Amino acid sequence: MKFETPAGTNPIDRMTVVGKPTSRVDGPLKTTGLAPYAYEHHREIANPAYGHVVGAAIGQGTIRSIDLAEAKAAPGVLAIVTAADAGKLGKGKYNTVKLLAGPQVDHYHQAVALVVAETFEQARAAAALVRVDYARAKGRYDLAEALKTAPLTGGSSDEGSAAPPIDRTGRFERAFAAAPVKLDAEYTTPDQSHAMMEPFASIAAWKGDELSVWTSNQMIDWGRSDLAITLNMPKDKIRFLSPYVGGGFGGKLFLRVDAVLAALGAKAAKRPVKVALTRPLIANNTTHRPATRQRIRIGAAKDGTITAIAHESGSGDQPGGSPETAVNQTKLLYAGANRMISMRLAVLDLPEGNAMRAPGEAPGMMALEIAMDEMAEKLAMDPVAFRVKNDTQVDPEDPKRRFSQRQLVRCLNEGAQRFGWSRRRAPGAVRDGRWLVGMGVAAAFRNHMNMPSGARVRLSPAGVVTVETDMTDIGTGSYTILAQTAAEMMGVPVYSVVLKLGDSSFPVSAGSGGQFGAANSTAGVYAACVRLRASVAQRLGFNSADAVFEDGRVTSGNRSADLRQAAATGELVAEDKIEFGDLDKTWQLSTFGAHFVEVGVDAYTGVTRVRRMLAVCAAGRIINPVSARSQVIGAMTMGVGGALMEELAVDKRFGLFVNHDLALYEVPVHADIPHQEVVFLDEADDKANPMKAKGVGELGLCGVGAAVANAIYNATGVRVRDYPITLEKHLDKLPAVA
């Protein structure tokens, strides 16, 4: 099905199932422990061996030699795989550096070897006996230093966030110089880890020259394709499965070493092999959100009209990597005739930087939305009013191109009313006992991205509808919204729909990432159901154009039949995919929102506690308000972590992240998170897809960090521009206690 014109009225608009709060259809399996995650496929795999990964102990250099004698002699050891044993490996399209070191080491904890043994404990013990002689080389680990000579570099996150090396509209420098009110400030965000609950884990099993891999991965087709490239084998000889994923946040978008070494280990041991990465390897071996250093300049007339805006960002990555696209939102979020954005990319020898939830906009808005508050203060304007003043219904760089839907002003105004924004006072003016209390606001923004997505739908003689697609559920609720879509289209209850996901033998979907998964994968199921409805109507002798599917029956004119009759002589099967024309080029497809936060800062210790949070979101049709709310409050929680505690500390001598486990890398816990309120505006975007839906997974994060930072400033009168905002960054500047 090709989506080329705005969606008219269709069966989804009935919203008898879609749009209704629906409990997760996979909930019972997960709460009873019957949902198998990557490391738990015991029914399919008999007598697996265990692999333990040895990570490089240097950040840059070469491997002189590896002594495996003691490890091979250890109890239970079946095989050991190194680069020398693996032979020539390819490098996947989505991997910046090779996954197995040898002889060159590209970064700390790059995999050096896999030890396979009968038990996990034996594999771990033997891995400690692998002796590697390294020749350490000088590495590049200091972002600030490397950015001094870094070139302008464009790039894309492959998740909808992209920008050229430099982009100009109008004459920024002249307009900025002439502006009566100016801001010129620098902001920093640190390296961050995905810190998902389920580690990177895989089981691999060979049957002749065919390989099956059960793994924790967000994008089945990407992972399968890159595994084929890496192992230099035909893609059609690989089956890649991820039916349940325990969190990914972008870290599991790409093939990682657990899958590759499980496959190599299984071939060497001639047994199925299980591999799970330890927490230190998750931080240093896999990907992370790169640190940024950003400069924002805003010039405005005295009435608050922005006349000049510039956003420059610098980040680092391995050679051949891409920049963190932190300037993307500044191209679109606010009006202003004279604009300049640019990005620089420094070459670093730290572990690979890549997508983490809302790549680009998440760190970019942490800076931009503080800058907007600072500018509002210079203008003596309310921060909400300043943002509203500079709203735009067209692309500021291309005024002929309108937004398909843009309710930012409504999000800000309704959020302000709900949150009691009118009670906000001057910085440092509100106290509650020992607490300095403040409110902060930030806009939320994330682009929508159209991607092809396929599905296969079956109707059984019993009236059961089965959906097959390689779409993954990474905790986001894919099982439920796909079931709702099929139920709405075929006129059956949700419990009559069976979902089969995360298997490369099924049609290729959009996958889970970048806030594009829900809208595109449901649109793919919609397309397959349109084809199945036509087959049902034909089997029943009905006119498919006017057939109504409702309550398990099909009605056309004055004729009606039970849906099951259509499959009485045999199962009906339909397959299709959603493909897109140029609507996303004619119209700007984006999602918008507003975040409001109240914090308390202890006047004695400087410790910050978040007291209240509100998100108002405009993101197209909300398919399931229950799972959508869960997505937003999870993102808001992640935003609090980014604002107050999350930071991978870089050892600039040896090139590693020091706090590489959950004991030292701090993330929010229940005690850190207060009441969270989420409001979805009524919206259906007919330019996006037949579902008229977009996404909320990243929108709930973008802007949260700045809302927290702005609330801290309002509470204390101390402006901190370097995240995370830990107590030592403002403690000595807090108002006198006595």
Query: In this predicted model, what pLDDT tens digit does every residue of 269-279 receive, in sequence order?
Result: 999 999 999 99
% of the chain residues with pLDDT over 70: 100
Look at residues 394, 419, 457 and name the one whose alpha carbon lies nearest to residue 599. 419
Q: What pLDDT was estimated at residue 738? A: 61
388 in Cβ contact with 145 (< 8 Å): no
* pLDDT tens per residue across span 604-644: 999 999 999 999 999 999 999 999 999 999 999 999 999 99
3-state secondary structure 133-174: EEEECCCCCCHHHHHCCCCECCEECCCCCEECCEEEECCHHH
From CA 385, how far away is CA 314, in angstroms rounded? Answer: 30
Note the residue count of the chain: 738
Catalytic one among 198, 550, 698, 728? 698
pLDDT band at 504 (very low <50, low <70, confident <90, very high): very high
Residue 328's CB: how many other CB atoms inside 10 A? 27
Residue type (1 letter), 633: I
Q: What pLDDT was estimated at residue 610? A: 98
From CA 303, how far away is CA 418, in angstroms rounded? Answer: 27
pLDDT, mean of residues 157-179: 95
Give 384's contacts (C-beta < 8 A, 6+ positions apart): 412, 413, 416, 421, 441
Q: Indicate if 646 belongs to the active site.
A: no
Q: What pLDDT was estimated at residue 158? A: 85
Question: Which domains occur in the chain, in start order?
Answer: 49-138+200-276 (3.30.365.10), 155-190+289-448+589-733 (3.30.365.10), 450-583 (3.30.365.10)
pLDDT band at 9 (very low <50, low <70, confident <90, very high): very high
Q: What pLDDT was estimated at residue 272? A: 98
Going through 673-725 in order, the beta strands assigned E by DSSP cover: 675-680
pLDDT band at 713 (very low <50, low <70, confident <90, very high): very high
Torsion-angle region of 19 (φ positive above 0: left; ψ -120 to 50: alpha; else: beta): left
Give 70's contacts (C-beta < 8 A, 6+ positions apart): 129, 131
Name the phi and psi angles at 212, rounded to 5: -115, 130
pLDDT, mean of residues 542-556: 96
Query: Which tokens hold the place of 62?
Result: 């070469």
Q: What pLDDT was estimated at residue 125? A: 98
pLDDT, mean of residues 335-362: 97
Name the phi and psi angles at 49, rounded to 5: -95, 170
Place of tokens 């070191």: 101
From CA 324, how far away is CA 347, in angstroms rounded? Answer: 13
- Mean pLDDT for the chain overall: 97
* pLDDT tens per residue across span 16-63: 999 999 999 999 999 999 999 999 999 999 999 999 999 999 999 999
pLDDT, mean of residues 126-143: 98
Give 33's contacts (C-beta < 8 A, 6+ positions apart): none
pLDDT, mean of residues 705-718: 98
From CA 221, how far away is CA 226, in angstroms rounded? Answer: 8
Name the phi and psi angles at 503, rounded to 5: -135, 125
Please list the residues that pair with 678 across neighbouring strands.
615
DSSP string, 581-612: -SHHHHSB-EEEEEEEEEEEEETTT--EEEEE
pLDDT over 70 at 308, yes or no: yes
Q: What pLDDT was estimated at residue 500? A: 98
Look at residues 532, 525, 489, 480 and name the one whose alpha carbon lies nearest to residue 506. 525
Please list the residues that pair with 306 across neighbouring strands.
300
Please list the residues that pair with 211 across neighbouring strands.
206, 238
DSSP string, 367-421: HHHHHHHHHHHHTT--HHHHHHHT--SEETTEEEEEBS---HHHHHHHHHHHHTG
CA 482 from chain centre, in angstroms, equals 19
341 in Cβ contact with 309 (< 8 Å): no
Q: What pLDDT was estimated at residue 606? A: 97
167 in Cβ contact with 334 (< 8 Å): no
491 in Cβ contact with 598 (< 8 Å): no
Name the phi and psi angles at 11, rounded to 5: -60, -25
* pLDDT tens per residue across span 678-693: 999 999 999 999 999 9
Cα dist from 87 to 66, 83, 116, 604, whole Å = 16, 6, 18, 61
